[in-house]
Structures are given as C-alpha cells and as structure tokens.
Copies of this chain bind each other. A is one copy, B any other.
Amino acid sequence: MSEFIDLAPEVAEAFASGAPVVALESTIISHGMPYPQNLETAQAVEQDVRDNGAIPATIAVIGGRCKIGLSPDELEYFAKGTDILKLSRRDIPYAIAKKCDGATTVSATMILAEKAGISIFATGGIGGVHRELATSFDISADLTELGKTSVAVVCAGAKAILDIPMTLEHLETLGVPVIAYGTDEFPAFYTVKSGQKAPLRLDSPEQIADFLSAKWDFGLEGGVVIGNPPPADKALALEAIEHAIDSALVEAKGLNIHGREVTPFLLQRVTQHTKGKSLEANIALVRNNARLAAQIAVARAK
C-alpha cells in the first residue's frame, strides 16, 4: 500500500480476507447535503453496503493523509466541517503537502480507490459536459478520469443540468463503457429517464461483474459508468425537471449569465423548483446505488 494511504481497520481486514469492498465519496457529505441529512445519509449508505454483504470504505483526506474508510467520528467531522477543501485530481497533492482536510469528488475518489485496490465505487451522479460548451468549454474532470482509471462508478447517471447527449458522446469518444442497469435508457439523476438510450444494458450484478472482469482481465484500462435508475417512488418527473431547466436557461439569458456561470445558476433554480423532493430523491438514489455496488462487489469476489 502507498505510504500516503491509511486503511481503516475494517478495510484492511477485508483486503486480507478477500472480502468485497465498496468505495464511497465524501464530497456528498461535506458539500452535497445539509446537516444533519448528510450525516444520516452517510451512515445509512454505509449500512446499505454492509446489508448487501460488502464493507464500505468512505474516502477522504484528513490532515494530508488519504483515508480509505472513515471512523464514525471522522464521518461526523466531515458532516459538520466548514473548512474542508473539495478535491479533484489536481488538488490531491496540495492537500497532502499542506496537510489539509479534503473531501474527494468523483475523480479523486476513483484515484484513491484504485490506488487502494478497490474497483467498485457508489456515488450519486457523475459530472459531465456542461450546457453552453461552445462558450464555456466546461467538461468535468470526472470524464477524463473515467477514461483512464479502472474503477466502476455506480451512479444515477449525470445531472440533468448537464448536456446529457454531449456527455454520452464524450464518454464514447473516451472509450468508456456506459451501462444502464435493468433498463434501456440512461437515467438522469433525479429522473428515471433522460431521453437518451444507454449504449449497453445489463440486467444483474453478476452480468456486470462478468463485464468488469472481461474488461480489466483483458487489460482494457479505464473506468465504467453503471447507470442505476433512481427508485421509482422517489424519482422526479423528467418533464418537470426539463421545464425548470428550460425556464432557467431563458432567465439566465435575460440576466446576461454566460459560460461557466450558467451551471450553478441552473442548479440553484432546479433546487428551488423541487426542494423538499430533490433532497429526498438524492438520498434515495445514493442508497440505491450503494446497494447495487455492494451486490456487484459481492459477485466479483466470488
């Protein structure tokens, strides 16, 4: 194990015994949800992984050390923390050298999971290509990471405020497999549908485990996107989300909001339009992804 990494005792035991492990990110705790829902969700997600037969490893940087697995106290610290950096690939050396605390985004969690030897990672949604690409050129580093880091990311797709067709095009360009789980359509975070067919469909954790083995055993390095639709009873309707985004885009134009200012504006407007429901959906989909990730990790450990 790298000298920069600390394994939680439970994760070290799992590695020693060959038990399945699922990586979890920490940005959703520190930056993605309000307290105390963030702590409750982080705890519930870890329990969901356990209930499905795997060991959870929430990943973060504390005092410059890369932590694979957090203690209950550390989880609480991140849930209450206000001075926690948000780390993507480029920021990891800064947090290490400056001995900072940092929450890992999708890209940074993938990197630390791979370095620790964990190949399955559950999160809410991945980043993607932003709307107004031609004027902002804003493309999430998550996609670049998926092109080269060998971790499967179980998510509810990419957020609807992104340009989903362009995000799928870019994943194709980068050679990243995109699998819809048990459905033909790529999900769009809060919604079961996105209007976009997924390039591949698989219908059981075992099929996904076989796919991952074929990919990595053959030496085809890089990540895999597993799009898991949000639970139907908590999911929002595509039309409502699309309507909120379309009105926000018109409003943005009127307010002269351009380029990289557009995404946070859209995010804020969608949250306003869906508030109570969007947080509830977010919690439900993250837990749903953790369950599937654990099932895939169990199938792969067989």
Q: Which residues in A have some Cβ–Cβ distance to B below 8 Å?
A: 2-4, 88-94, 96-97, 107, 111, 115, 129, 133-141, 143-145, 147, 163, 165-166, 169-178, 199-200, 207, 210-215, 217-220, 259-260
Which of A145, A172, A207: most chain B Cβ within 10 A?
A172
Q: Contact check, A134 vs B136: say whether CB atoms are below 8 A apart.
A: no
Q: Which residues of chain B come closer than 8 Å to A165, judged between CB atoms?
A: 136, 259-260
A139 to chain B, nearest CB (A): 5
Which of chain B's residues has its CB closest to A2's CB?
B218
Taken together, the copies of this chain in the complex come to 3
Q: Among the listed B93, B94, B220, which residue makes an inter-chain contact with A111, where contact means beta carbons less than 8 Å apart?
A: B220
Q: Contact check, A92 vs B218: say whether CB atoms are below 8 A apart.
A: yes
Q: Contact check, A213 vs B90: say whether CB atoms are below 8 A apart.
A: no
Bound state CA distance, A149 and B158, in angstroms? 29
A210 to chain B, nearest CB (A): 4
Which of chain B's residues has its CB closest to A221's CB?
B148
Q: Chain A interface mostly helix, strand, loop or mixed?
A: helix
A96 in contact with B175 given A138-B169, A166-B137 (CB within 8 Å): no
Q: Which residues of chain B come closer than 8 Å to A172, judged between CB atoms?
A: 88, 90, 141
Q: Among the listed B2, B88, B93, B137, which residue makes an inter-chain contact with A215, where contact means beta carbons less than 8 Å apart?
A: B93
9 residue pairs of the A-B complex, CB under 8 angstroms, read A88-B172, A90-B175, A90-B178, A96-B214, A97-B210, A137-B170, A140-B173, A141-B175, A144-B173
